[in-house]
A and B are shown apart, each in its own frame.
Chain A
């Protein structure tokens, strides 16, 4: 068992990626990802890792560069946040269509406008339909572990899809906390060399990113959908293997005191740990509260969600993003959709919270439970609300 160390999570993520024998990184700095960009460039400049660090003039170029590098057979990495991710947006579906196993760390930050550098999920939610595997972490240990696992998942011959690992900006990235850093030997045991499905090489030329007409486009989209759905199987296998090697197990959906819970809450990202404390306090008061933590966002874990929530009377979904003028928070909408055809399902509530870095203390989580419990006529069920908004 490795020793626990204290380090800033962003630096730790860069260190973890450095353990993965990346061939290339193109990372354009943006708050709050910048420490990841800086530290990876330090590792390359100091010769601690043998990789090309390509300095680009924008995130769009960063994603273009990693697409090109991955196409040429390089293990490629990038990282971004917020506007940077929005700037990369047009390339994300291309990366997944080309089945390139690029790994990206996203230090989740609010999307403008107005300008806000602090933490929420409004940057990743618009990327939902891009065909990338999308994972959320809760703490520094998970940020490290999933950053390493991402390469193995992405590069598996039955996956070959890009992966993004979502790490709450500032809330996690700028936190010094404790975790175990895997050793290089252990990561080498876990992560085999990258074997691309095709490479851009003069000796055996191929075309990547060609044009397709309407007679093929539908079939191509279907193939991509199937690839993303099938990747779940591999993700579970990789998590099994990680558990055996490192003793830490991960699941698409994790629960805390949820088995006999009457009211469940669902969180994604670092809020989950604070919410756990609220569950403890509520249980101590006799409330049958429980927590469901969504780790795998894409491909969406339908079976695990259904199993985790179907027996609860009420579910409080917490969303750190909103689809304006639509059905509320994106997680809320997807959970409802997942449960639509189920004969047994809870009443589902939605609180939009933690936007633009607004802090959510334990008391707020308790407040959400109390509000939902007080709604005995179930009038607020199926609706969304901005938690704590000044009216």
Chain B
């Protein structure tokens, strides 16, 4: 089972991402959970969202305390929220940022596997809005390899209709452009 914790701000679509990811993983024959951290979630407030994907039925329903992967949708949360808390040794940190990996490592005092991509930049280019939630799904799937990118197609099309293709383009770019540093 893989456990991912997403960090974002309310309104950035972290919850949408975990939902789409779960729906797609299930459609691909896996078992999955996608759920938000439950709290007063107004726009801009730091929120967490969670993904579990497994090939067999998932029984655990508690929050994720020892994620395999942490994905930071909004790098302004670094320093505000302890984003790497509980990240398993050997786990992976994915950050949506235009900063260098060295700057990120320094800010977090983090020496593990790091992956960065300027998701917001890609989203702006491909979709015209700086909303990187679907973009970063591409980043996650490249780093984790749990599913083919194609598996997301149906749920994205269902959710986004006319603008689905732009989301898929942004997702593909993040998939291709993300850099992983061990």
Contact = CB atoms under 8 A, between A and B. Distances in A.
Interface of A: 4-8, 117-119, 170-172, 174-178, 270-271, 273-274, 276-277, 357, 359-362
B42 interface: no
B33 interface: yes
A268 B122 CA distance: 46
Contacts of A277: 59-60
B22 A6 contact: yes
B2 to A, nearest CB: 15
Nearest to A361: B62
14 contacts: A5-B27, A6-B23, A6-B34, A170-B35, A175-B34, A175-B61, A176-B32, A177-B58, A178-B26, A178-B31, A273-B60, A359-B62, A361-B60, A361-B65
B6 to A, nearest CB: 13
Contact of A177 (B33, B38, B65): B33
A273 B58 CA distance: 9
Contacts of B62: 274, 359-362
A176 B60 contact: no
Interface residues of B, number: 23
A175 B60 contact: no
Q: Which of A5, A119, A174, A357 has the most CB of B within 10 A?
A: A174
Contact of B33 (A118, A175, A359, A361): A175
Contacts of A271: 61
A176 B59 contact: no
Contacts of B156: none
Interface string B24-42: 1111010111111010000
Contacts of A359: 62-63
Given A178-B31, A357-B38, A274 B60 contact: yes
Given A170-B38, A174-B38, A175-B35, A276 B26 contact: no
Contacts of A176: 18-19, 22-23, 32-35
A274 B33 CA distance: 13
A51 B156 CA distance: 31
Interface in B3-24: 18-19, 22-24
Contacts of B26: 4-6, 177-178
A168 to B, nearest CB: 8
Main secondary structure of the interface of A (DSSP, over half): mixed
A4 B26 CA distance: 7
Contacts of A175: 33-35, 61
**Which 7 pairs of residues, A with B, have the shortest CB-CB distance?**
A6-B26, A6-B23, A176-B34, A178-B26, A273-B59, A176-B22, A361-B62
Interface of B: 18-19, 22-27, 29, 31-36, 38, 58-63, 65
Contact of B61 (A5, A118, A178, A273): A273
A118 to B, nearest CB: 6
A362 B18 CA distance: 22
Given A6-B26, A362-B62, 14 more contacts: A5-B26, A6-B23, A6-B32, A118-B38, A174-B36, A175-B35, A176-B22, A176-B33, A176-B34, A177-B58, A273-B59, A273-B61, A277-B60, A359-B62
B56 to A, nearest CB: 11
A7 B22 CA distance: 8
B27 A361 contact: no
B137 to A, nearest CB: 14
Contacts of B27: 5-6
Nearest to B26: A6
Contact of A274 (B31, B38, B59, B65): B59
Nearest to B18: A176
A276 B59 contact: yes
Contacts of A170: 35, 38
A171 B36 contact: no
B38 A178 contact: no
A177 B21 CA distance: 11
B32 A362 contact: no
Q: Which of B31, B59, B63 has the most CB of A within 10 A?
A: B59
B13 to A, nearest CB: 14
B99 to A, nearest CB: 32
Nearest to A4: B26
A362 to B, nearest CB: 6
